[in-house]
């Protein structure tokens, strides 16, 4: 979906500026009768009002952010322009902003530097919310299939605390697995975030394993794989001095790195365990 046209964006700003002091009917009458607002048509004002409802700006709590910044953020984030999903990789400075973002910024009186900052803010909000939603779904999907397919004890320790350094505990036949679960719904990109606690747990715990879970868009389990510890250790940051210490990092994992299935859990699976746990993706 493209960003709204320039008149709709300007009309949206006017709605947000006027509505706190007056009702909808009075503001609409002002826009349609006063010559100061005649540069935008009544139809465009109505379209802007409908768009503000659609993206949630009319119902949001009061904000200290300037109105034009709020409208710009919604224009790039809530409309889901194609490039926004990978904005963290595609846009590394104001000079790399896409044309539609620059047009929206110009229409709203937002400088390229401020537009770049707003894109980063918006992407960070959406990414955090989406990672939380998808991450929870991935843990629960894997927990369900393990509970049905692994002998012994299966426990969702992350439901009690995130201090363990892993999410799921599995134990049977003198074997144990401590699974840190990272989830994605994307086919072409695997990006995970690992905390310092998770990494240090990996270093001292031989049962720790990083498991990537791939879900369908409907959040159904599609594939699981394990990322070798050696690869993780080779790609996390290094503390350069005792005065600087990383607390979390992002890992962009190439598709050839994960090993299909969950090696640490394999000895504990029942004979009827589904193929996805043995490294065979679910057929679409």
169, 269: one domain: yes
DSSP H helices in the chain: 6-18, 24-33, 42-55, 67-77, 87-90, 99-108, 112-149, 196-204, 229-235
Q: 254: burial class by Cβ within 10 Å (0-12, 13-18, 19+)?
A: exposed
Assigned domain for 117 exists: no
82, 173: one domain: no
**What pLDDT, on the 0 to 100 scale, is given for residue 61?**
55
44, 12: one domain: yes
Name the percent of the chain in helix, strand, coil, to the closest 5.
50, 15, 35
**What pLDDT, on the 0 to 100 scale, is given for residue 234?**
96
104, 141: one domain: no
94, 229: one domain: no
Taking alpha carbons only, the member of 269, 195, 180, 208 closest to residue 236 is 195
Give Dmax (Cα) for the chain.
Answer: 81
Assigned domain for 118 exists: no
Cβ 164 vs Cβ 201: under 8 Å: yes
Query: Where residue 257 sits, what CATH number does that domain have?
Result: 3.40.1350
Q: What is the mean pLDDT of residues 193-217?
A: 96
Assigned domain for 180 exists: yes
61, 183: one domain: no
Band of pLDDT at residue 189, cut at 50, 70 and 90: confident
**What pLDDT, on the 0 to 100 scale, is given for residue 281?**
75
pLDDT digits (tens, 9 = 90+) for 48-96: 999 999 998 987 756 788 999 999 999 998 877 889 988 988 899 999 9
What is the Cα 76 distance to its own chain's centre? 15
86, 159: one domain: no
User: 236: domain range?
Assistant: 133-278
58, 174: one domain: no
pLDDT digits (tens, 9 = 90+) for 219-274: 999 999 999 999 999 999 999 998 999 999 999 999 999 999 999 999 999 988 89
Assigned domain for 124 exists: no
pLDDT digits (tens, 9 = 90+) for 134-184: 999 999 999 999 999 998 999 999 999 989 999 999 998 888 999 999 999
Q: Flag whether the pTM goes above 0.85.
A: no
**What pLDDT, on the 0 to 100 scale, is given for residue 95?**
95
Length of the chain: 284
Assigned domain for 164 exists: yes
259, 147: one domain: yes
94, 139: one domain: no
Q: How many domains does the chain have?
A: 2
Q: What tokens appear for 240 in the block?
A: 């350069």
Assigned domain for 120 exists: no
Assigned domain for 125 exists: no
**What pLDDT, on the 0 to 100 scale, is given for residue 85?**
86
31, 137: one domain: no
Assigned domain for 200 exists: yes
């Amino acid at each position: 979906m493209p960003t709204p046209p320039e008149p709709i964006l300007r009309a949206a700003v006017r709605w947000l500026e006027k509505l706190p002091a007056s009702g909808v009917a009075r503001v609409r009458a002002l826009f349609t009768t006063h010559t100061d607002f005649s540069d935008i048509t009544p139809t465009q004002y109505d379209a802007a009002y409908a768009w503000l409802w659609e993206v949630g700006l009319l119902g949001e709590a009061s904000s200290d952010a300037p109105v034009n910044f709020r409208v710009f953020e919604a224009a790039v984030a809530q409309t889901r322009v194609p490039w926004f999903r990978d904005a963290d990789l595609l846009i590394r400075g104001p000079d790399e902003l896409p044309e539609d973002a620059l047009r929206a910024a110009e229409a709203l009186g937002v400088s390229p530097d401020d537009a770049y900052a707003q894109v980063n803010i918006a992407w960070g909000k959406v990414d955090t919310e989406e990672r939380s939603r998808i991450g929870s779904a991935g843990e629960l999907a894997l927990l369900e299939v393990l509970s049905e397919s692994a002998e012994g004890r299966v426990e969702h320790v992350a439901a009690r605390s995130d201090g363990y350094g892993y999410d799921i505990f599995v134990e049977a036949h003198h074997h144990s697995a401590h699974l840190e679960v990272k989830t994605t719904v994307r086919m072409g990109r695997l990006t995970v975030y690992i905390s310092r606690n998770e990494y240090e747990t990996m270093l001292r715990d031989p049962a720790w394993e990083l498991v990537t879970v791939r879900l369908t868009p409907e959040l159904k389990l599609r594939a699981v794989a394990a990322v070798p510890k050696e690869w993780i250790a080779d790609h996390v940051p290094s503390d350069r001095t005792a005065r600087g210490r990383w607390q979390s990092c992002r890992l962009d994992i190439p598709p050839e790195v994960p090993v299909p299935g969950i090696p640490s859990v394999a000895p504990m699976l029942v004979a009827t365990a589904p193929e996805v746990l043995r490294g065979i993706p679910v057929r679409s």
